[in-house]
Amino acid sequence: MKKNILLMLLFIVILLSSCSLTPYSRSEFMMDTQCVITVYSRDDLDKLDDVFSSLRDIERMVSRYDEGSDVFRINEAAGVRAVRVSEETFTLIARAKEISLITGGAFNPLLGKISDMWNFTGTEHHIPSQDELESIIAAAGDMDNLVLDEEECSVYLASACLSLDLGGIAKGYASEKAAAMLAGEGVEKAIINLGGNIYAVGSRSSAEGWRIGLQNPDSSEGGYFTVVNASDEAVVTSGSYQRYFMSDGVVYHHILDPSTGYPAQTDLASVSVINSDGTLADALSTALFVMGSADAGAFCTEHGIKAVLLTVDGEISYLGIDGAEG
Protein backbone atom coordinates (compact mmCIF):
# COMPACT_ATOMS: atom_id res chain seq x y z
CA MET A 1 0.00 0.00 0.00
CA LYS A 2 2.66 2.48 1.09
CA LYS A 3 4.66 1.73 -2.02
CA ASN A 4 1.64 2.45 -4.20
CA ILE A 5 1.08 5.76 -2.47
CA LEU A 6 4.68 6.74 -3.03
CA LEU A 7 4.50 5.84 -6.68
CA MET A 8 1.44 8.04 -6.99
CA LEU A 9 3.23 10.92 -5.30
CA LEU A 10 5.98 10.66 -7.85
CA PHE A 11 3.54 11.48 -10.57
CA ILE A 12 1.41 14.17 -9.03
CA VAL A 13 2.63 16.74 -11.48
CA ILE A 14 4.00 16.01 -14.88
CA LEU A 15 6.57 18.41 -16.16
CA LEU A 16 6.35 19.17 -19.80
CA SER A 17 9.99 19.50 -20.62
CA SER A 18 11.31 21.47 -23.45
CA CYS A 19 12.99 19.55 -26.25
CA SER A 20 15.71 22.15 -26.59
CA LEU A 21 16.86 21.87 -22.96
CA THR A 22 18.89 19.01 -21.53
CA PRO A 23 17.73 18.06 -18.03
CA TYR A 24 20.11 16.91 -15.29
CA SER A 25 18.27 15.54 -12.28
CA ARG A 26 19.15 14.43 -8.80
CA SER A 27 16.68 12.64 -6.59
CA GLU A 28 16.53 11.67 -2.92
CA PHE A 29 13.85 10.20 -0.73
CA MET A 30 13.08 12.56 2.15
CA MET A 31 10.10 14.19 3.86
CA ASP A 32 8.29 10.91 3.20
CA THR A 33 8.37 11.49 -0.52
CA GLN A 34 10.61 11.48 -3.56
CA CYS A 35 12.37 14.83 -3.96
CA VAL A 36 13.70 15.57 -7.44
CA ILE A 37 15.61 18.65 -8.53
CA THR A 38 16.28 19.19 -12.21
CA VAL A 39 18.73 21.72 -13.56
CA TYR A 40 19.49 22.47 -17.19
CA SER A 41 23.23 22.99 -17.14
CA ARG A 42 25.68 20.25 -16.14
CA ASP A 43 27.66 22.84 -14.13
CA ASP A 44 24.62 23.48 -11.94
CA LEU A 45 24.55 19.86 -10.70
CA ASP A 46 27.33 20.57 -8.17
CA LYS A 47 25.18 23.27 -6.62
CA LEU A 48 22.59 20.69 -5.58
CA ASP A 49 24.73 19.27 -2.74
CA ASP A 50 24.05 22.28 -0.52
CA VAL A 51 20.39 22.36 -1.50
CA PHE A 52 19.78 18.70 -0.60
CA SER A 53 21.67 19.22 2.62
CA SER A 54 19.38 22.15 3.45
CA LEU A 55 16.31 20.03 2.64
CA ARG A 56 17.58 17.40 5.07
CA ASP A 57 17.97 20.13 7.72
CA ILE A 58 14.37 21.22 7.18
CA GLU A 59 13.21 17.63 7.47
CA ARG A 60 15.10 17.31 10.78
CA MET A 61 13.47 20.52 11.99
CA VAL A 62 9.84 19.67 11.20
CA SER A 63 9.71 15.90 11.57
CA ARG A 64 7.16 14.75 14.15
CA TYR A 65 9.04 11.50 14.62
CA ASP A 66 12.67 12.59 14.87
CA GLU A 67 13.33 12.85 18.61
CA GLY A 68 15.72 15.77 18.21
CA SER A 69 13.47 17.90 16.03
CA ASP A 70 11.93 21.16 17.20
CA VAL A 71 8.45 19.88 16.36
CA PHE A 72 9.02 16.63 18.29
CA ARG A 73 10.12 18.58 21.36
CA ILE A 74 7.15 20.98 21.10
CA ASN A 75 4.75 18.04 20.91
CA GLU A 76 6.40 16.22 23.79
CA ALA A 77 5.95 19.30 25.99
CA ALA A 78 2.30 19.88 24.98
CA GLY A 79 0.26 21.09 27.95
CA VAL A 80 3.39 21.26 30.10
CA ARG A 81 5.79 23.98 29.01
CA ALA A 82 7.00 26.23 26.21
CA VAL A 83 9.92 25.04 24.10
CA ARG A 84 12.64 27.22 22.61
CA VAL A 85 13.13 26.58 18.91
CA SER A 86 15.29 27.89 16.09
CA GLU A 87 14.26 31.15 14.46
CA GLU A 88 13.52 29.26 11.26
CA THR A 89 11.14 26.86 13.01
CA PHE A 90 9.49 29.74 14.85
CA THR A 91 8.92 31.68 11.63
CA LEU A 92 7.40 28.67 9.86
CA ILE A 93 5.05 27.92 12.77
CA ALA A 94 4.04 31.58 12.99
CA ARG A 95 3.25 31.45 9.28
CA ALA A 96 1.16 28.30 9.76
CA LYS A 97 -0.81 30.03 12.50
CA GLU A 98 -1.33 33.15 10.39
CA ILE A 99 -2.60 31.12 7.43
CA SER A 100 -4.87 29.12 9.70
CA LEU A 101 -6.47 32.37 10.82
CA ILE A 102 -6.78 33.77 7.27
CA THR A 103 -8.45 30.58 6.05
CA GLY A 104 -10.99 30.52 8.87
CA GLY A 105 -9.37 27.41 10.31
CA ALA A 106 -9.54 25.31 7.12
CA PHE A 107 -5.76 25.05 7.39
CA ASN A 108 -5.03 23.76 10.87
CA PRO A 109 -1.51 22.66 11.90
CA LEU A 110 -2.70 21.26 15.25
CA LEU A 111 -4.27 18.02 14.01
CA GLY A 112 -1.21 15.82 14.53
CA LYS A 113 -2.88 13.54 17.09
CA ILE A 114 -5.82 12.98 14.75
CA SER A 115 -3.57 12.21 11.76
CA ASP A 116 -1.70 9.75 13.99
CA MET A 117 -4.98 8.02 14.90
CA TRP A 118 -5.90 7.55 11.25
CA ASN A 119 -2.34 6.44 10.50
CA PHE A 120 -2.57 7.24 6.79
CA THR A 121 1.16 6.66 6.30
CA GLY A 122 1.28 3.29 8.04
CA THR A 123 -0.31 -0.05 7.33
CA GLU A 124 -2.56 -0.40 10.40
CA HIS A 125 -5.34 2.12 9.77
CA HIS A 126 -7.92 3.13 12.32
CA ILE A 127 -11.23 4.96 11.95
CA PRO A 128 -11.56 7.11 15.08
CA SER A 129 -14.88 7.48 16.90
CA GLN A 130 -16.49 10.86 17.65
CA ASP A 131 -15.55 10.34 21.30
CA GLU A 132 -11.89 9.98 20.46
CA LEU A 133 -11.95 13.12 18.34
CA GLU A 134 -14.14 15.48 20.33
CA SER A 135 -11.67 17.01 22.80
CA ILE A 136 -8.89 17.28 20.22
CA ILE A 137 -11.12 19.07 17.69
CA ALA A 138 -12.22 21.54 20.35
CA ALA A 139 -8.65 22.31 21.44
CA ALA A 140 -7.31 22.48 17.87
CA GLY A 141 -10.12 24.80 16.84
CA ASP A 142 -8.81 27.49 19.15
CA MET A 143 -5.62 28.91 17.61
CA ASP A 144 -4.89 30.67 20.92
CA ASN A 145 -3.77 27.22 22.06
CA LEU A 146 -0.76 27.64 19.78
CA VAL A 147 1.16 30.11 21.93
CA LEU A 148 4.07 31.87 20.23
CA ASP A 149 6.52 34.02 22.16
CA GLU A 150 8.60 35.95 19.67
CA GLU A 151 11.02 37.35 22.23
CA GLU A 152 11.78 33.95 23.71
CA CYS A 153 11.52 32.29 20.28
CA SER A 154 9.40 29.65 21.97
CA VAL A 155 6.30 27.64 21.13
CA TYR A 156 3.79 26.23 23.60
CA LEU A 157 0.86 23.93 22.88
CA ALA A 158 -1.60 24.87 25.61
CA SER A 159 -3.35 21.49 25.67
CA ALA A 160 -1.85 18.04 26.14
CA CYS A 161 -4.15 16.64 23.44
CA LEU A 162 -2.57 18.81 20.73
CA SER A 163 0.25 17.88 18.42
CA LEU A 164 1.80 20.10 15.79
CA ASP A 165 1.78 18.75 12.23
CA LEU A 166 3.48 20.87 9.57
CA GLY A 167 2.87 18.26 6.85
CA GLY A 168 0.53 20.62 5.01
CA ILE A 169 3.05 23.46 4.72
CA ALA A 170 6.63 22.21 5.16
CA LYS A 171 7.30 20.94 1.65
CA GLY A 172 6.14 24.24 0.14
CA TYR A 173 8.49 26.07 2.49
CA ALA A 174 11.32 23.70 1.61
CA SER A 175 10.76 24.10 -2.13
CA GLU A 176 10.79 27.87 -1.82
CA LYS A 177 14.01 27.79 0.21
CA ALA A 178 15.63 25.46 -2.32
CA ALA A 179 14.58 27.81 -5.13
CA ALA A 180 16.07 30.81 -3.32
CA MET A 181 19.34 28.94 -2.75
CA LEU A 182 19.61 27.99 -6.42
CA ALA A 183 18.78 31.50 -7.60
CA GLY A 184 21.39 32.82 -5.13
CA GLU A 185 23.96 30.51 -6.76
CA GLY A 186 23.14 31.98 -10.16
CA VAL A 187 21.07 29.02 -11.41
CA GLU A 188 18.75 30.42 -14.03
CA LYS A 189 16.59 27.39 -14.76
CA ALA A 190 15.53 24.60 -12.45
CA ILE A 191 12.50 22.60 -11.41
CA ILE A 192 12.20 21.52 -7.80
CA ASN A 193 9.66 18.75 -7.21
CA LEU A 194 9.12 17.68 -3.63
CA GLY A 195 6.41 15.05 -4.03
CA GLY A 196 4.16 17.29 -6.07
CA ASN A 197 5.22 20.56 -4.47
CA ILE A 198 6.79 22.12 -7.53
CA TYR A 199 8.89 25.25 -7.62
CA ALA A 200 9.72 26.51 -11.10
CA VAL A 201 12.95 28.52 -10.97
CA GLY A 202 13.34 31.07 -13.76
CA SER A 203 11.60 30.43 -17.05
CA ARG A 204 11.82 27.90 -19.81
CA SER A 205 12.94 30.62 -22.21
CA SER A 206 12.87 34.39 -22.42
CA ALA A 207 9.56 34.09 -24.25
CA GLU A 208 7.68 31.68 -22.02
CA GLY A 209 7.45 30.22 -18.54
CA TRP A 210 7.63 26.57 -17.53
CA ARG A 211 4.63 24.52 -18.55
CA ILE A 212 3.52 22.25 -15.76
CA GLY A 213 0.94 19.53 -16.26
CA LEU A 214 -1.42 18.86 -13.34
CA GLN A 215 -2.01 15.17 -12.80
CA ASN A 216 -5.35 13.65 -13.55
CA PRO A 217 -6.53 12.33 -10.15
CA ASP A 218 -8.15 9.37 -11.89
CA SER A 219 -5.15 7.07 -12.12
CA SER A 220 -6.98 4.81 -14.57
CA GLU A 221 -6.95 7.66 -17.09
CA GLY A 222 -3.41 8.81 -16.23
CA GLY A 223 -1.71 11.83 -17.74
CA TYR A 224 -2.57 15.39 -16.90
CA PHE A 225 -5.87 17.22 -17.09
CA THR A 226 -4.49 20.67 -17.77
CA VAL A 227 -1.30 22.67 -18.04
CA VAL A 228 -0.33 25.83 -16.20
CA ASN A 229 2.45 28.32 -16.75
CA ALA A 230 4.85 29.20 -13.96
CA SER A 231 7.98 31.38 -13.71
CA ASP A 232 9.73 31.79 -10.37
CA GLU A 233 6.61 30.37 -8.80
CA ALA A 234 5.46 27.38 -6.84
CA VAL A 235 2.74 25.12 -8.21
CA VAL A 236 1.43 23.09 -5.28
CA THR A 237 -1.24 20.44 -5.58
CA SER A 238 -3.38 18.86 -2.85
CA GLY A 239 -5.73 16.01 -3.66
CA SER A 240 -7.62 13.21 -2.01
CA TYR A 241 -5.95 10.74 -4.39
CA GLN A 242 -2.47 11.44 -3.01
CA ARG A 243 -2.67 9.46 0.23
CA TYR A 244 -5.58 7.33 1.33
CA PHE A 245 -6.82 3.92 2.40
CA MET A 246 -10.04 2.05 1.75
CA SER A 247 -12.18 0.26 4.29
CA ASP A 248 -15.51 -1.46 3.50
CA GLY A 249 -15.55 0.27 0.13
CA VAL A 250 -15.14 3.76 1.63
CA VAL A 251 -12.14 5.93 0.76
CA TYR A 252 -10.50 7.71 3.68
CA HIS A 253 -7.99 10.33 2.53
CA HIS A 254 -5.40 12.34 4.44
CA ILE A 255 -6.73 15.90 4.23
CA LEU A 256 -8.79 16.43 7.36
CA ASP A 257 -11.71 18.73 7.98
CA PRO A 258 -10.64 20.43 11.23
CA SER A 259 -14.29 20.74 12.29
CA THR A 260 -14.88 16.96 12.22
CA GLY A 261 -11.48 15.27 12.36
CA TYR A 262 -12.62 13.18 9.39
CA PRO A 263 -11.34 13.36 5.81
CA ALA A 264 -12.75 16.54 4.27
CA GLN A 265 -16.04 15.86 2.49
CA THR A 266 -15.53 18.13 -0.44
CA ASP A 267 -16.66 18.40 -4.05
CA LEU A 268 -13.02 18.85 -5.05
CA ALA A 269 -10.71 16.16 -6.39
CA SER A 270 -7.65 18.37 -6.55
CA VAL A 271 -6.52 21.94 -5.95
CA SER A 272 -3.37 23.54 -7.35
CA VAL A 273 -2.14 26.92 -6.15
CA ILE A 274 0.36 28.99 -8.15
CA ASN A 275 2.27 31.56 -6.12
CA SER A 276 5.82 32.84 -5.72
CA ASP A 277 5.40 32.21 -1.99
CA GLY A 278 5.78 28.42 -1.84
CA THR A 279 4.88 28.27 1.85
CA LEU A 280 1.61 30.06 1.24
CA ALA A 281 0.88 27.97 -1.87
CA ASP A 282 1.29 24.73 0.09
CA ALA A 283 -0.86 25.75 3.05
CA LEU A 284 -3.52 27.21 0.79
CA SER A 285 -3.77 24.16 -1.45
CA THR A 286 -4.64 22.12 1.65
CA ALA A 287 -7.06 24.75 2.97
CA LEU A 288 -8.85 25.30 -0.35
CA PHE A 289 -9.33 21.55 -0.69
CA VAL A 290 -11.07 21.51 2.71
CA MET A 291 -13.24 24.53 1.83
CA GLY A 292 -14.76 23.01 -1.31
CA SER A 293 -15.18 24.73 -4.67
CA ALA A 294 -17.61 27.53 -3.71
CA ASP A 295 -15.71 28.83 -0.69
CA ALA A 296 -12.33 28.17 -2.31
CA GLY A 297 -13.37 30.21 -5.37
CA ALA A 298 -14.56 33.09 -3.20
CA PHE A 299 -11.35 32.98 -1.14
CA CYS A 300 -9.10 33.10 -4.22
CA THR A 301 -11.04 36.00 -5.71
CA GLU A 302 -10.97 37.94 -2.45
CA HIS A 303 -7.25 37.38 -1.85
CA GLY A 304 -6.04 37.47 -5.48
CA ILE A 305 -4.80 33.85 -5.41
CA LYS A 306 -4.06 31.97 -8.65
CA ALA A 307 -5.43 28.43 -8.51
CA VAL A 308 -6.91 25.58 -10.51
CA LEU A 309 -9.77 23.68 -8.93
CA LEU A 310 -10.87 20.31 -10.27
CA THR A 311 -14.16 18.92 -8.94
CA VAL A 312 -14.96 15.24 -8.56
CA ASP A 313 -17.34 15.72 -11.51
CA GLY A 314 -14.43 16.82 -13.68
CA GLU A 315 -15.29 20.53 -13.77
CA ILE A 316 -12.21 22.78 -13.91
CA SER A 317 -12.11 26.35 -12.56
CA TYR A 318 -9.21 28.63 -13.41
CA LEU A 319 -8.90 31.36 -10.83
CA GLY A 320 -6.74 34.36 -11.66
CA ILE A 321 -5.16 32.60 -14.68
CA ASP A 322 -6.12 31.86 -18.26
CA GLY A 323 -7.70 28.52 -19.06
CA ALA A 324 -6.14 25.31 -20.29
CA GLU A 325 -3.25 25.58 -22.67
CA GLY A 326 -2.82 22.01 -23.68
Binding partner of residue 165 among ligand AMP, Mg ion, none, CB under 5 to 8 Å per kind? ligand AMP
Phi first, then psi: what are they for 34, rounded to 5°?
Answer: -85, 125
Give the list of residues 6+ apart from residue 279 with CB closer than 8 angstroms, or none.
Answer: 92, 95, 169, 172, 173, 176
Q: How many beta carbons lie within 10 A of that of residue 210, not counting itself?
A: 27
Binding of residue 165 to ligand AMP (CB under 6 A): yes
Binding of residue 109 to Mg ion (CB under 5 A): no
**Shortest reach from residue 282's CB to ligand AMP, in Å:** 5
Q: Are 71 and 61 in contact (CB under 8 A)?
A: yes
Q: Which of residues 131-170 bind Mg ion (CB under 5 A)?
A: 168
Phi first, then psi: what are they for 22, rounded to 5°?
Answer: -100, 120
Binding partner of residue 237 among Mg ion, ligand AMP, none, CB under 5 to 8 Å per kind? none
Phi first, then psi: what are they for 217, rounded to 5°?
Answer: -65, -25
Binding partner of residue 167 among ligand AMP, Mg ion, none, CB under 5 to 8 Å per kind? ligand AMP
> Which residue, 97 or 211, has its beta carbon nearer to ligand AMP?
97
Count the site residues for ligand AMP by CB under 6 A: 18
Single-letter residue type at 1: M
**Shortest reach from residue 24's CB to ligand AMP, in Å:** 27
Stretch that binds Mg ion, among 178-186, 209-217, 278-286, 299-307 (CB under 5 A): 278-286
Residue 12 DSSP label: S
Q: Are 128 and 136 in contact (CB under 8 A)?
A: no
Binding of residue 258 to ligand AMP (CB under 6 A): yes
Stretch that binds ligand AMP, among 2-10, 104-112, 124-132, 150-158 (CB under 6 A): 104-112
* Residue among 78, 198, 282, 291 that touches ligand AMP (CB under 6 A): 282
Q: Are 139 and 161 in contact (CB under 8 A)?
A: yes
Binding of residue 176 to Mg ion (CB under 5 A): no
Give CA–CA dist 71/165, Å, rounded.
8
Output the CA angle 110-298-273, nearest 5 degrees.
60
Binding of residue 167 to ligand AMP (CB under 6 A): yes
Residues lying near ligand AMP in the complex (CB under 6 A): 107-109, 111, 115, 165, 167-168, 238, 242, 254-256, 258, 282, 285-286, 290
